[in-house]
Every structure is written in structure tokens, then in C-alpha cells.
Structure 1
Amino acid sequence: MSTEIEKKNNNFIYKIINEDFKKNKNLLLHTRFPPEPNGYLHIGHAKSIHLNFELANLYNGYCNLRFDDTNPTKENIKYINSIQKDIKWLGYKWHKKICYSSEYFPKLYEYAKELIKKGLAYVDELTKQEIREYRGTLKTIGKNSPYRNRSIEDNLKLFKKMKKGQFNEGEACLRAKINMNSSFIVMRDPVLYRIIFSTHHQTENKWCIYPTYDFAHCLSDSIEGITHSFCTLEFQDNKNLYNWILKNTSVKHYPKQYEFSRLNLEYSILSKRKITVLIEKKIVDGWDDPRILTISGLKRKGYTASSIREFCRRIGITKQNNLVEFSMLEYCIRKELNQKAIRTMAILEPIKIFLYNIDDSYKEKLIVPNHPNNPNLGTHEVIFTNTIYIEREDFKEKYDKKYKRLKIGAEIRLRYAYIIKAEKIEKDKNGNIINIICFCDINSLGKKPINKKNPAVIHWIAVKNSFPAQFKLYNQLFKIKNPEKEKNFLSFLNSDSLIRKSGFIEKKIAQNIIKKMNNNSVCLSFQFERIGYFCLDEFDSKKNKLVFNRTVHLRDSWNFKKIKN
């Protein structure tokens, strides 16, 4: 198995695991994904999910889902439900039941008392601000708390008093007694327990003292038998505390922690805190807004679970922080949709064409493929009449030699239909074009023009075959590549991150979508020919007006200067 895996994967984590298997052939790999239930998952979490679950699958091991729920003031059952839903949607299944750090609170409390009995923890009564000041900085060493040398007996009594709720919040905490001169600030007597009078979503009001994340995380890993604990590089210094706690408690199992680079994606914010600011200021519409890279936002935008998994596979795992090109994410979904998305025609900014040499009563049915290269996706019917819509940008009133679409005196072909020639225009009293009068060559269906070059092809929809639709064109939320680095990141917002258009789609396609809406089976993606890949927005759509979100452009041609295109 090891040789086969080595050929398939070549990053440092696989090499570490392969070496571990060489040393211990009976090793059972056990990983975990340990989210804090204080927000929704985003594409950065998907990278960690992919790593931990795929490793477990590849090495025939297990992956736990554990909620590190140590701060009831920030946690909510809605986040727990959302995280479970997102992991399932991504295609992964955790080992046995869901785990919670709160399950282990009685054990963690005993481990804390064990540290006190060893003279390695003490109850401190400094305020939060005083603890921060005593801790020092990267340039200055810390200084000992005046409560640091209390007796073991006093610390045990005070810790018990904390547990009974006989201190107010902020009046006391339990700290590890390590080294206030350490070059690692995290090792300068870190807080292990604090007082929080708040109802916990799992334990309700049973506890009023809660372990810190650092204290609970490593011990929870040990209790669950985790063999390899993976985290991002910002926790690299915390590894010292992780190992110190395990070493100085009577745990029977020692997990190994390894760090990898977090995901940084161009033009994006992945910080939960900053995303919360965007939502609170109503810059975006919520956690599922397609402009932010939450799993729910990506899903609403039309991304598939398989495209996200493929993205995670392609970016790989390294120890080097780098900025991943946004086009990589778009490539993954575009490649998939190119194979399976149904092709249809949509008009986002309609302008009307009247074919004067075709009778008003004329109505022709044309059968067109749902995909030019995949006959298994079938066909659908479009209607051709003498009055149609085309895109406003597909007609130019003023003569332009370089313009290859419809203009006065020039011919173009309607997709799957006839060649037409623009002859004149009609305008309203305000000078707006209301009709383009064209001649239709009724002998041109499926035929190449004689002694002429093939004309350009544009898409269209017959007025009688149109159904009203709204189109939401999503662009990058920020104008700069790395807004995460900017303190005032809101200064770099892209005012054109969402552009709304009102137009039409084909009536037959709309009718099929509405049927699926009635059956609660909507998750449809389309390629609107010549425009891009879109999906139905099932939250905003109504039976009389459908709403579509643009998933991605047809080609990797995103350019901020041309964002409105």
C-alpha cells in the first residue's frame, strides 16, 4: 500500500505518514476535523476537510468530526447543523458518532487538577488586562503573577471554588506554570480555564468554568486516539503547549501535530471576523452570499462538491504560505460544467428584432442539442417566429469595420437558425432603439452562404418563446489581490461585485425548471450560450420569475478593468 500511495502523492504529510507506517506496520491512521461551532465553513475549511478525510480514506483509517466547543458565548447549534450539512455535501462521512470536546469536560477537569497537584498550574486573580501586560511582548520578557506561588492546597480549593461559581467572570482563571521568560509567548503561563456564566448548547448550565481551546484540543485528540493532528501554520508555536500538556498529564496516547499552510485565495477574505463585518455592514447578504467563499455561498453560486474537492487536490499541501490564483478555483468548476451543463439561450439585456419578410402567424419548431458534444443529454425544442430578442451588445448602430456582429447592412446567423440582415432601426421619442428591422434568408437554415464567408453567430429567443428571468452577475468582491493583508480592507471593495440584469430564458427550459421546483429537486446548472455558466437561485426564484446566479465565465478572461463585461 505504501509504495502505491507514494507514487500517487508527494507532499510532506504523505511522506511523514508513509515513514510512520514503515516503523509501525500495525498503525491505524486516525485523523480528525475539529471545527469550533462559532461560524460557517468556508473554502479554507474545505482544504482541511479534504486533507483529513482523504487521508483516512487512502490509508483505510478513520476521521472524526469533533466540535471543539469550549466557548458557549460564541457557539450556536445552527453552526453545528450547518457544518454537518456542509461536510456531508462535500461527500465525506465521519467515523461513528459526532464528538464534542464538551463530552470530555469531566476528564479535562481532572487533568487540570492533576497539573495543580504537580505544581504546574495555579489560580490567578489578575485581570485580563493585567495578564496581558505581565505576559510581555516579543521584545520584552514577561513577569510572574503575584499569585503564581500559591500552595497546591490553596490552588485546589480556589479551582474548586471557580467550579462552584463562587467567583465572578474575570475574577479568577487557571493558568499553567511554565516559563514567563520563554521566547514563545504562548508558553508564558497560558490560561487553561476561565469562568463563563453562559448556557452551553450541549452541557446547558452544568459548568461555569470552561477549558481554553489549547487545553481542550490536545487532550481531546488524545482521548479519541488521534494519531495525526493537522493544523495550519498560525498554530505552529502552540505545538509547544500542545506537547507540554500531553507530557505533563497522565494521558495514555500521544498524538503528533503537524502544520501546513492555510489557504489564501486572490481577491478574497477568509477570516470569520472580517466576513462577519461584511455581513453586519450589509455589504453582502449573509453567510450564503455567493461573493464570499463559504461552502454555502459557493453552493448557491453553482459550485459542486466535486469541483471543490478537485480544487483542494490541485492546490495540494505545503508549509509555504502563498496566494492561490482565483482562476484555479474557477477552472475546476468550469471544466466540470463544460462536460455536463445543459446549453440553452438566455438574453440578459434584450433588444427586439422584427423580421419583416416573415408572416406574423409563422411559427417554426427547431430541435436543438442540449450539449454539442454529449448526445446523451438529449435535445430540446425552440420556437422561431418573426419577432425575437437578441443581446443589446450584439447590435451596433454606428458603423464599425471591426465589429463582427449585427449592424446595418451586415449579415449574422442566429444560433441553430437563419441568416438575417439588418436594414433599419426604429426608435422611441427619447431616441432609444425599440426595433431592428431585418431581412431573414429563409433558405439559409443549415446551409452555408454561397460565395461568402460564414457570418458571425449570435444567440436569440423568440418573443413568444420567452420567459422573464433575472440574472445576478457575480464578480470579485475586492479590487486587490490580497485584501486579507489590509487593515482597512473595506476600502478595497469592488462596487461592481454584483450586477443585476433583467431579461429572458427559453420558455420550455423555464417550464422544466418550475416542474423540478415543485418536486424540490432543483440543483440545475446551465451554460447560457456565449454568456457563461449559471445556476438557478432557488432561494430568490419564483414561479413567475426565475433568478439565475452566474457561476463562472465561459473562459478564464476575468479582468477587473472589464468587470462589467
Structure 2
Amino acid sequence: MADSIETKNEPLDFIREMVEEDKKTNLFGGRVVTRFPPEPNGYLHIGHAKAICLDFGVAQENGGVCHLRFDDTNPTKEDTEYEESIINDVRWLGFDFGEHLYYASDYFEKMYECAVELIRRGKAYICDLTAEQWDNEYRGDLSTPGKDSPGRSRSVEENLDLFRRMREGEFEDGAMVLRARIDMSSPNINMRDPVIYRIRHAHHFRHGDKWCIYPMYDFAHPLEDAFEGVTHSFCTLEFEIHRPLYDWVLDSLGYTFPNRPRQTEFSRLNLTATVMSKRKLLQLVKEHYVNGWDDPRMPTLSGMRRRGIPASAIRRLCRTVGVTKFDGITDVALLEHCIREELNATAPRFLAVLDPLKVTITNFPEGGVEPLEAVNNPEDPAAGSRKLAFTRELYIERADFMMEPPKGYFRLAPGREVRLRYGYFIKCEEVITDAAGEVVELRCTFDPATRGGNAPDARKVKGTIHWVSATESVPAEVRLYDRLFTAEEPGANGANFLEQLNPDSVKVIEGRLEPALALLPAGSTVQFERLGYFTVDPDTTLERPVFNRTVTLKDSWSKQNAKQGR
């Protein structure tokens, strides 16, 4: 897995340059140990993919290791379901953590001992102010320094006793917290005596009811890195303001940790027409705006996998975006471009009709079936060919016929001739309509001399359309997925992101497919010629094939926005 992905020729961004310099100076004895530390409180999304590619990629490129470590320090939001999904997503993305799977909760005893040591050193104290009192009366703001909590004057002995009793479950949630004693006048509010332990009488998904106090992330994270011998701890830019606290924790206990790890921040991956907030994604799931975390419209890795987006396309996007110190937003069209680039080289081609219009070939014998040769993938000659059944009754796309075609329309029309893909020239001789005037059938003739799409008399036709046999094709449910949001930045400028959901983000239609498509296993991705890339959904059955549209063949959104002057 990991040794096959594209990391050996990564460009040297500022993080890779830093790691290279650290190796030259033997800062960590030549070691490179990174970590990816997700919280098991939701599914990973594409924003996490950039961090995964960086954490595992840098380690791999430098002969090091990357730890997968679960930050399971908040039992009220964590679940085994999320843990399992994260493990599957990391592996699917192409990375292998081997034996280096860790949990913050495995260090709870050591973290508790570190907190006790801080109390003994006079660097932590018990505070029994409510959260509201702290925020409104004591913390201060950017222009006003904070003021000392009454608990700051407690003796070491009293703090140790209260902390022990907190652990033993004597106090209710919120009754008190353990704070680091740092600087109530610091311009960095994160350094104004932050909470490092709080009471949570909640069942932990791995340790049951053993603990009722839990460390805060800003306290646990540097300790976990130090316990595991991490050399380089990469975080997204929002953690830059937390780095002084990261360093303070390690410096305050520095006698235990020589060569302490270094935290470095980089810009996160943001995409247009997408939300990355776990809170918002959870809301979409819980309020049934989507059909679960793996809904193909979701930016979760499981949703993208179900939609048919290859892991290689996500890795390609992360390489293209690069690693910088500057926050920005990437057009989701770039992701779609990466998907097309990957699938164009790998996806076999098939014929499918998604809005069927019946065509009767009047000069072809009733009951007759003629096998035609179709190329599986023009990009890959080794992919071979397959047989298509040409019959008297066919289906074409309704959009490939017009009664009164405008200039530049080269598809089928009354009296006009077109080429059937891999087949013959056909000519529309008669149009059948219903009582409402809607076209229900075309009666055409075919030219037997044009088998394979070429005329012996060298006559030319400009239009080539796809088709399937009406009698030999199979019906299928086809889910046409599109972007989940219509806004470029959902929720920006105070907007309600739920009001910016795309009402056409999914359309379910009945299509007709080549019979071979019904035999493909779930997860198989193919190109429906002229229509897009599609993937077999896990809901599929032999009796009822189900396909998800992964991406269209062209970027229709960019064209639409350009027309509207966006």
C-alpha cells in the first residue's frame, strides 16, 4: 500500500525543507516520526486527507514512521463506529500505519501523573468558578487583561486533595476544573490559565466508567507526542495560536522529555461549495438532509468512496494544492478535474441511456440480433473489446433528437442521418407522437454498408450518438449526484448554510444499460460514454443494478457560472 503511492517525487515545500534540515543537523538523531491524531467523533472528510497525505507522506519519504493516534479524550462524542471508519479511510487512502496504532486514553494514567506534577510545582490549580463566571468576569478580552481566579491562591496540598477527589468521582460535572497557572495578562488568551482537566461522568467507548475526569486536547496533545517520541507534529493553522501552550506543557515537564517534539502549522484544505465543519456535517446527517455519513454528496472520505472517487484522485488534489502557510479556498472544480484525469486512464467504457427514447429500425429483421465490436477503453489498448447487441428496437437519449434542430445541432432530426457509436448510420424517417404531442418513438432505417460507423461511399455525418438495445439492455436505478450546495462558500457572511443546499443535488432516474454492467460488483467504476463516470452502489442487486454518478465528463458548473458572470 504505502510504498506504491506517489510520494518519492514530492516537491520540497517549507515543511519538507524543515525536515530535511533537521535530518542534516541530526536534531532528532536522524529520526522522523509523525502522527495523524483524529478525534473519533465523526467521519473523516477531504480536509483530513491533506493532513493524512502530509503526515504519512513526510514519514515515508524520510524512512520514518507515522502514528495513527486517536484523540479519545471526550467520551460524550466518541464512538467505535467513528474509530472503525477512520481506520478504514486511512487505509483506503493508501497509507499503512502498521503496528503504530495508539489511543490518547492509553496514556490517561501518565497524563494524570503529569497533572499532579504540575500541581506540585505550583503550575496548576483547582478552579471552582463556573464557565460563565470565568468567561464573563475573569478571563478578560483582547484589550483587557484577565484577573486571578480565587483558586489561584490555594495551597499545593489543597489542590492535590481536590484533584484526587475529582478523580474519585466526588464532584458533579462542571463543579470544578484543573487550570494551568500561566499568565492572566498574556495577550494570547489561550495562555490565560487554560483548563487542562475537566469532570465528565460519561461512559468511555474503550475504558467504560474507569475515568470521570478527562484531559483537554491542548494538554493531552503535546504529552501524547512526547510519550510516543514524535519528532514533527504537523497541525493546521488554527492551532498556531495554541503552540505556546503546547510548548509550555512540554517545557514545564521538560526534564522528562529530552528532544521534545516540534509543532509546525500549515494551511488546511478548503473547497468551494463544501462544508468541512464536523458540527455542520453531523447536523446534515442527524437532521436527514443526507442519507448518512457515506452519502455520496458528502465530503467525507466514505461518501467519496461510495460515489466512486478514487483515492488516487484525492492524493493528486493534495499534491496539486501543495503545503503552504496561507489559508485559501480551492475551487471544487480542481477536485473534479483530478477525478476525471484518474478515471479517464482507468475506467472501462460502456453504453448506457439515461433518458430513453425508443427507436425502431424498420429495415432490420424482427427478432434479429447482430453482435457489434466495441472498444473497452480507447486509452488502454490492452483493455480489449466486447460485443454489443444490435437489434430492431433500440433506445437513444431523448436529448439526441430534436424536431426542429437549431444551427449547430448535429444529432438526430427528421430526415437527418447520424452514426450510432460502434454501429451503423441511421436515418430518421418517421416521428411518432402521443396525444399530447410528445415524441414517443422514432422510426428509422439503417445502412448495412456502414457497419463500424464508416460509409463505403465516403459520405460524412457529423453526429455520433450512443444507444442500447431495447430488448437486450437491462433497467437500472441511476442516481445523478451533483454538488450539495449552490453557494461558493456555504454559510459565509452569516448565511444559513442549510438554506444554500442544492435542491437538485441528487436525481434518481430509470436508465437502460448494457447487460454486462449488471454483473459488476459494488465499487466498480466505469464511464458511460458521452455521459460521465459512474460507480456501482452497494445497494445494487442482480435484479436491480444501482449506479451513482461520480462526475460528469465536463465541468458544466464553470460554464454555467461564466454565463451568469460569476
* Per-residue deviation, residues 345-390 of structure 1 (Å, max 9, x unmatched): 0000000011112221221111211112322112211111111000
* Other-structure match for 2:448: 442
* Other-structure match for 1:102: 105
- The CA distance in 2 between the partners of 1:284 and 1:276, in whole Å, is 10
- The CA distance in 1 between the partners of 2:39 and 2:405, in whole Å, is 61
Counterparts of 1:65-214 in structure 2, within 5 Å, are 65-133=68-136, 134-214=138-218
- The CA distance in 1 between the partners of 2:304 and 2:105, in whole Å, is 31
Deviation at 1:199, TM superposition (A): 1.3
Does the aligned pair in 1 maintain the 2:8–2:61 contact within 8 Å? no
Task: Provide the identity percentage.
Answer: 46
- The CA distance in 2 between the partners of 1:389 and 1:7, in whole Å, is 48
Amino acid at match of 2:509: K
* Other-structure match for 1:323: 329
* Other-structure match for 2:257: 252
- The CA distance in 1 between the partners of 2:49 and 2:382, in whole Å, is 32
Deviation at 1:242, TM superposition (A): 0.4
* Other-structure match for 2:547: 548
Deviation at 1:67, TM superposition (A): 0.6
- The CA distance in 2 between the partners of 1:523 and 1:274, in whole Å, is 27
* Other-structure match for 2:411: 405
* Per-residue deviation, residues 50-79 of structure 1 (Å, max 9, x unmatched): 101111110001111111111111110111
Deviation at 1:108, TM superposition (A): 0.7
Stretch moving more, 130-139 or 43-52: 130-139
Does the aligned pair in 2 maintain the 1:422–1:438 contact within 8 Å? yes
- The CA distance in 1 between the partners of 2:364 and 2:309, in whole Å, is 43
* Other-structure match for 1:509: 517
- The CA distance in 2 between the partners of 1:196 and 1:459, in whole Å, is 62
1:241 aligns with 2:245: yes
Counterparts of 1:363-374 in structure 2, within 5 Å, are 363-374=369-380
Does the aligned pair in 1 maintain the 2:424–2:448 contact within 8 Å? yes
SS in 2 for 1:450: coil
- The CA distance in 1 between the partners of 2:558 and 2:287, in whole Å, is 27
- The CA distance in 2 between the partners of 1:311 and 1:484, in whole Å, is 24
Runs of 5+ in structure 1 lacking a partner? none
* Other-structure match for 2:468: 461
- The CA distance in 1 between the partners of 2:383 and 2:168, in whole Å, is 66
SS in 1 for 2:320: helix
Does the aligned pair in 2 maintain the 1:198–1:208 contact within 8 Å? yes
- The CA distance in 1 between the partners of 2:209 and 2:109, in whole Å, is 14
Does the aligned pair in 1 maintain the 2:10–2:319 contact within 8 Å? no
Amino acid at match of 2:542: K
- The CA distance in 2 between the partners of 1:135 and 1:102, in whole Å, is 29
1:419 aligns with 2:425: yes
- Change in CA separation of 1:6 and 1:432 when aligned onto 2, cut-off 3 Å: closer
Does the aligned pair in 2 maintain the 1:268–1:484 contact within 8 Å? no
Does the aligned pair in 2 maintain the 1:63–1:95 contact within 8 Å? no
Does the aligned pair in 1 maintain the 2:417–2:461 contact within 8 Å? no
Deviation at 1:399, TM superposition (A): 4.0
Deviation at 1:304, TM superposition (A): 1.3
Deviation at 1:441, TM superposition (A): 1.3
Counterparts of 1:274-423 in structure 2, within 5 Å, are 274-423=280-429
Deviation at 1:245, TM superposition (A): 0.7
- Change in CA separation of 1:22 and 1:7 when aligned onto 2, cut-off 3 Å: farther
Amino acid at match of 1:54: G
- The CA distance in 1 between the partners of 2:226 and 2:168, in whole Å, is 27
- The CA distance in 1 between the partners of 2:353 and 2:10, in whole Å, is 45
Deviation at 1:555, TM superposition (A): 2.5
Amino acid at match of 1:400: P
2:220 to 212, 216, 219: 216
Amino acid at match of 2:337: Y
Does the aligned pair in 1 maintain the 2:125–2:154 contact within 8 Å? yes
- Change in CA separation of 1:6 and 1:421 when aligned onto 2, cut-off 3 Å: closer
SS in 1 for 2:512: strand
- The CA distance in 2 between the partners of 1:366 and 1:448, in whole Å, is 16
1:483 aligns with 2:490: yes
Deviation at 1:282, TM superposition (A): 1.6
Does the aligned pair in 2 maintain the 1:479–1:560 contact within 8 Å? no
- Change in CA separation of 1:8 and 1:403 when aligned onto 2, cut-off 3 Å: closer
- Change in CA separation of 1:347 and 1:193 when aligned onto 2, cut-off 3 Å: same
Does the aligned pair in 1 maintain the 2:73–2:217 contact within 8 Å? yes
Counterparts of 1:505-544 in structure 2, within 5 Å, are 505-510=513-518, 512-513=519-520, 517=521, 522-538=522-538, 540-544=539-543
Counterparts of 1:50-61 in structure 2, within 5 Å, are 50-61=53-64
- The CA distance in 1 between the partners of 2:169 and 2:197, in whole Å, is 13
SS in 1 for 2:450: coil
Structure 1-normalised TM-score? 0.94
Deviation at 1:7, TM superposition (A): 8.0
* Per-residue deviation, residues 513-549 of structure 1 (Å, max 9, x unmatched): 2xxx4xxxx32111100000111112x2122121111
2:37 to 34, 51, 56: 34
- The CA distance in 1 between the partners of 2:9 and 2:164, in whole Å, is 55
Amino acid at match of 1:187: M
- The CA distance in 2 between the partners of 1:558 and 1:548, in whole Å, is 22
Amino acid at match of 1:41: L
SS in 2 for 1:143: coil
Q: Would you say how many aligned residue pairs link Structure 1 and Structure 2?
A: 550
- The CA distance in 2 between the partners of 1:153 and 1:235, in whole Å, is 34
- The CA distance in 2 between the partners of 1:383 and 1:95, in whole Å, is 49
Does the aligned pair in 1 maintain the 2:358–2:441 contact within 8 Å? yes
Does the aligned pair in 2 maintain the 1:34–1:67 contact within 8 Å? yes
Amino acid at match of 2:257: K
Does the aligned pair in 2 maintain the 1:121–1:174 contact within 8 Å? yes
SS in 2 for 1:221: helix
- The CA distance in 1 between the partners of 2:313 and 2:10, in whole Å, is 20
Stretch moving more, 27-36 or 14-23: 14-23
SS in 1 for 2:341: helix
- The CA distance in 2 between the partners of 1:424 and 1:493, in whole Å, is 43
* Other-structure match for 2:267: 261
1:500 to 505, 508, 518: 508
- Change in CA separation of 1:369 and 1:399 when aligned onto 2, cut-off 3 Å: closer
* Other-structure match for 1:18: 20
Q: CA RMSD in A?
A: 1.8
- Change in CA separation of 1:54 and 1:426 when aligned onto 2, cut-off 3 Å: same
- The CA distance in 2 between the partners of 1:282 and 1:289, in whole Å, is 11
SS in 2 for 1:405: coil
Stretch moving more, 456-465 or 136-145: 136-145
* Per-residue deviation, residues 299-332 of structure 1 (Å, max 9, x unmatched): 0111112221121111111010011121221122
Amino acid at match of 2:121: K
Does the aligned pair in 1 maintain the 2:272–2:331 contact within 8 Å? yes
- The CA distance in 2 between the partners of 1:40 and 1:441, in whole Å, is 56
- Change in CA separation of 1:278 and 1:40 when aligned onto 2, cut-off 3 Å: same
- The CA distance in 2 between the partners of 1:8 and 1:492, in whole Å, is 37
Deviation at 1:276, TM superposition (A): 1.1
